[in-house]
Amino acid sequence: MTNSRKFPNEFLWGGAIAANQAEGGWDEDGKGVSIADVVRGGIISGKADKVIDPNKYYASHEAIDFYHRYKEDIALFKEMGFSLFRTSINWTRIFPNGDEEEPNEAGLQFYDNLFDELIKNGMEPMVTISHYETPLHLVDQYGGWENRKLIDFFSRYCEVIFNRYKDKVKYWMTFNEVNNMHKIPFAAGACRIEEGPDKLQRVYQASHHLLVANAMAVKLGKEIMPENEVGCMLSLSAFYPHTCHPDDVFGAYEFRRRSLFFSDVMLRGKYPSYTNRIFKEYNIHIVKEKYDDELLKDNTCSFLAFSYYLTSTYKSGTPIFESTGGSMGYENPYLEVSDFGWPIDPKGLRYVCNELYDRYEKPLFVVENGLGAKDVIAEDGKIHDNYRIEYIKKHLIQLHEAIEDGCEVLGYTYWGPIDIVSAGTGQMQKRYGFIYVDKDDEGNGTLDRMRKDSFYWYKKIIESNGELL
Ligand code: BG6
């Protein structure tokens, strides 16, 4: 037994955001309209308008104005000692409608500037290629990922950004939380799929296109930038059986497979055998092209990135609710919940790392973990967010345990190191940041930034490479 919490020397520390939740500048410099831009109440809520209503408030349109303030924010990340910073490229800055032949140079230039600034400040940029930001035109015109044509549009987009940024970005991820296709097909797959008898057929067909597109991206990555890594990204908050009743145990297992199906294909290169029964029982017929299976087999991802926020439990016959952080089942009497009702389970992170590493033996990357809370400015004008420190501390200790268990973990990017718009609710009051942003849910505020107590704490943890945990 060792008491030292020191992480491996090459361990990457940082933070993660998504373009649509931070940048703002939604129609600047030739940017097109993305699915996130027509949503009120958070992209996960699915409350999407057909077109933008000028009389309504859309939180992503200004967000925290990272588009103009990124230099100031990067200086703060540097002060905390980040060695890596994860963000997404907003597809609609590069291809405003998604189906153009030529990219938008102003959009490309923005990310050149952003990555240069990160590199200048000692941070490795990590990119999510598609984080709930599909061009709206691809939904209206083509039906989103239900249409196979999106594979070509996405491949063109990948080709452009790989060629452009191959010397600046080493770590790439294709689709944010791609397994969310089951719960939030509009966000994850840009499809307007309602409940109905054909829902599963449509979800799996669109998912097949996403999986083929993922393999295409890996293939292009190998050709254009063989030194770099293309990984997949899933929402893998864990799921336990609620009791030891075999129905709960096997039910939880089957429910988990709904998610692991995606990483099974993207990391092992083929549809797992359990899908045969699912497809038969639900009468699902996937239309494939001749070379799809070969493409999937030859182009698997080199690492598995995932978000981890919570765990919940499965009780046979109980409805499962979906949240951005995972699935919410029956309540777990052993766990406390956050201000927003998310169960807090640090040991679950160790459990998930072990589960995934045992299954795939490929490097893992924790690219999202964090606490959304209602921060209050104290009388001294500061934010004393000890609850956030406690949350992260406990999770990092368990992550360290997982590494001791033998899991290969490349790094940890805390979700929302600066307050951003919530994907689940569209609110600003669900704050994750080490850095406070003065803005409320109606869009009022100066947008000034302020360090919270957790800012200084995280800095010390990074400085000591975990030893001070
Ligand atoms: C993840 C998403 O599921 O959860 C992020 O990738 C999101 O986009 C995060 O912000 C936290 O969820 P929320 O609803 O608290 O913003």
Whether ligand 1 lies within 6 angstroms of the CB of 422 is answered as yes
Task: Report how far Cα 53 is from the mean position of its chain's Cα atoms.
Answer: 28
Whether ligand 1 lies within 6 angstroms of the CB of 206 is answered as no
Q: State the pLDDT at residue 44.
A: 78
Please report, for the chain, the start and end positions of each structural domain, with discontinuous segments joined by +: 12-463
Tokens of 80: 């905390």
CB neighbour burial string for 445-469, b if at least 16 within 10 angstroms, e if fewer: eeeebbbbbbbebbbebbeebbeeb
The confidence band for 419, taking pLDDT boundaries of 50, 70 and 90, is very high
pLDDT in tens, 175-217: 999 999 988 999 999 999 988 889 999 999 999 999 999 999 9
pLDDT in tens, 107-158: 999 999 999 999 999 999 999 999 999 999 999 999 999 999 999 999 999 9
Residue to substitute in 21, 35, 60, 368 for testing ligand 1 pocket (most ligand atoms within 8 angstroms of CB) = 368
Asked if the 12-463 domain carries CATH number 3.30.450.90, the reply is no
Q: What is the ipTM of this complex?
A: 0.99
| Dist. CA 397–CA 77, nearest whole Å | 22
**Positive/negative CA dihedral, 91, 96, 97, 98:** negative
Centre of ligand 1 to C-alpha 59, Å, is: 14
Residue 176's contacts (CB-CB under 8 Å, 6 or more residues apart) are: 18, 88, 128, 130, 131, 132, 188, 233
CA distances from 402 to 231, 364, 365, 468 (A): 20, 11, 12, 18
Centre of ligand 1 to C-alpha 283, Å, is: 33
* HSE-CB of 211 using CA atoms within 13 angstroms: 32
Tell me which residue has its CA closest to atom 7 in ligand 1.
Answer: 423
pLDDT in tens, 293-318: 999 999 999 999 999 999 999 988 87
Q: Which atom of ligand 1 is the closest one to the Cα of 326?
A: 3
| Dist. CA 20–CA 242, nearest whole Å | 36
Pair 60, 20: CB distance under 8 Å: yes
pTM score: 0.97
Centre of ligand 1 to C-alpha 249, Å, is: 28
Centre of ligand 1 to C-alpha 369, Å, is: 9
- 364 closest CA partner among 464, 238, 267: 267
Residue 66's contacts (CB-CB under 8 Å, 6 or more residues apart) are: 17, 22, 23, 24, 73, 418
